[in-house]
């Protein structure tokens, strides 16, 4: 099993040295990858119709994943990078194809593109994206992105995209893995059809059950579930013993990856115990304690 460290994006601060030190510590401790969450905009929750249910608001910091990974590619050597997840339908497909190719090239093939549809409809509106068509957009974007990676020049027409004999350069030197994230049936079905893996934002019996549902969907579309990667996640605040139990359960269930999130930002929203870590040094110490208890 490969272990990932979730960047504590809401708590790490803006000091580039602290972010570098955290990433280098994760690499030296033996973590296989860094996971970065994505939000372009945060929004106030009060007075929304429909009600705003997501865990983040206008006060939460989010480092932009592609820029972040471009920086971290230059200060690390082996650790991989995963967007967990990029809210793809609110971004331009061709631009994401270009950004992902750049990160993969500059990191020496250490990038994994995790995508999903998100929950923040205010963010969609602010970015000029259609919240109501996000599912159809996501499907079409995957086709566009992969075609841009595979072809020097692309002539592509659909209801949502038109690329008139154009392409990106430099193209990636390999097919960058595309993983999906989420928990709803539509996300699982989309991953079964189009994905190389799936990242769950949690772990435990419900997550294992969702993984079994996804495996059944893979079989239904003629794919071998053993060739499909799965990642679970736990919040450090539940304690090292509970984390170790979650890891063991995920390993027994055939998960290939497991990530630890040491942030307390969403614990009140999710009902999880908060780790209440403060400085970057405390976050690094938590990474060391976690990997020592499960690896």
Quick one: which H or E segment has residue 243?
A: helix 240-252
Confidence of residue 295 (pLDDT cuts 50, 70, 90): confident
Among 190, 170, 168, smallest CA distance to 180 is for 190
| Per-residue pLDDT tens over the stretch 86-139 | 999 999 999 999 999 999 999 999 999 999 999 999 999 999 999 999 999 999
* Residues 181, 114: Cα–Cα separation, whole Å: 7
Q: What is the pLDDT of residue 72?
A: 98
* Residues 124, 118: Cα–Cα separation, whole Å: 9
3-state secondary structure of 231: strand
> How much is the average pLDDT of 34-51?
96
Confidence of residue 284 (pLDDT cuts 50, 70, 90): very high
Centre a 10 Å sphere on the Cβ of residue 2 and count the other Cβ atoms it contains: 15
Quick one: which H or E segment has residue 3?
A: strand 2-6
Residue 49 reports pLDDT greater than 90: yes
Confidence of residue 69 (pLDDT cuts 50, 70, 90): very high
Confidence of residue 140 (pLDDT cuts 50, 70, 90): very high
Task: Return the domain boundaries, the chain.
Answer: 2-294
CATH architecture for the domain at 2-294: Alpha-Beta Barrel (3.20)
Q: Please tell me whether the overall predicted TM-score, pTM, comes out greater than 0.95 for this model.
A: yes
| Per-residue pLDDT tens over the stretch 74-90 | 999 999 999 999 999 99
Residues 38-51, buried b or exposed e (16+ Cβ, 10 A)?
Answer: bbbebbeeeeeeee
Q: What is the pLDDT of residue 257?
A: 98
* Residues 185, 217: Cα–Cα separation, whole Å: 10
Confidence of residue 224 (pLDDT cuts 50, 70, 90): very high
Q: What are phi and psi of 49, to 5 degrees?
A: -135, 110
CA distances from 191 to 36, 96, 130, 176 (A): 19, 18, 21, 15
Q: What is the pLDDT of residue 193?
A: 98
């Amino acid at each position: 099993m490969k272990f990932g460290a979730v960047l504590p994006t809401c708590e790490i601060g803006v000091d580039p040295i602290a972010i570098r030190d955290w990433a280098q510590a994760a690499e030296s401790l033996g973590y296989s990858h860094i996971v970065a969450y994505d939000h372009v905009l945060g929004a106030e929750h009060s007075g929304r119709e429909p009600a705003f249910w997501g865990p983040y608001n206008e006060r939460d910091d989010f480092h932009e994943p592609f820029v972040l990974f471009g920086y971290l590619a230059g200060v690390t050597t082996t650790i991989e990078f995963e967007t967990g997840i990029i809210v793809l339908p609110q971004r331009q497909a061709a631009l994401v194809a270009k950004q992902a190719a750049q990160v993969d090239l500059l990191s020496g093939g250490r990038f994994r593109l995790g995508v999903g549809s998100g929950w923040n409809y205010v963010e969609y509106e602010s970015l000029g994206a259609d919240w109501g068509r996000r599912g159809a957009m996501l499907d079409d974007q995957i086709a566009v992105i992969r075609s841009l990676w595979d072809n020097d020049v692309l002539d592509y027409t659909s209801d949502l995209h038109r690329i008139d004999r154009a392409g990106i350069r430099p193209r990636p030197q390999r097919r960058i893995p595309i993983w999906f994230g989420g928990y709803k049936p539509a996300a699982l079905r989309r991953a079964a059809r189009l994905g190389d893996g799936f990242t769950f934002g949690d772990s435990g019996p419900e997550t294992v059950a969702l993984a079994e549902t996804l495996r059944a969907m893979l079989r239904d579309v003629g794919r071998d579930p053993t060739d499909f990667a799965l990642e679970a996640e736990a919040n450090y605040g539940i304690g090292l013993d509970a984390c170790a139990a979650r890891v063991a359960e995920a390993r027994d269930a055939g998960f290939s990856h497991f990530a630890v999130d040491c942030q307390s930002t969403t614990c009140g929203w999710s009902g999880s115990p908060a780790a209440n870590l403060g400085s970057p040094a405390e976050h690094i110490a938590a990474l060391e304690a976690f990997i020592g208890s499960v690896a």
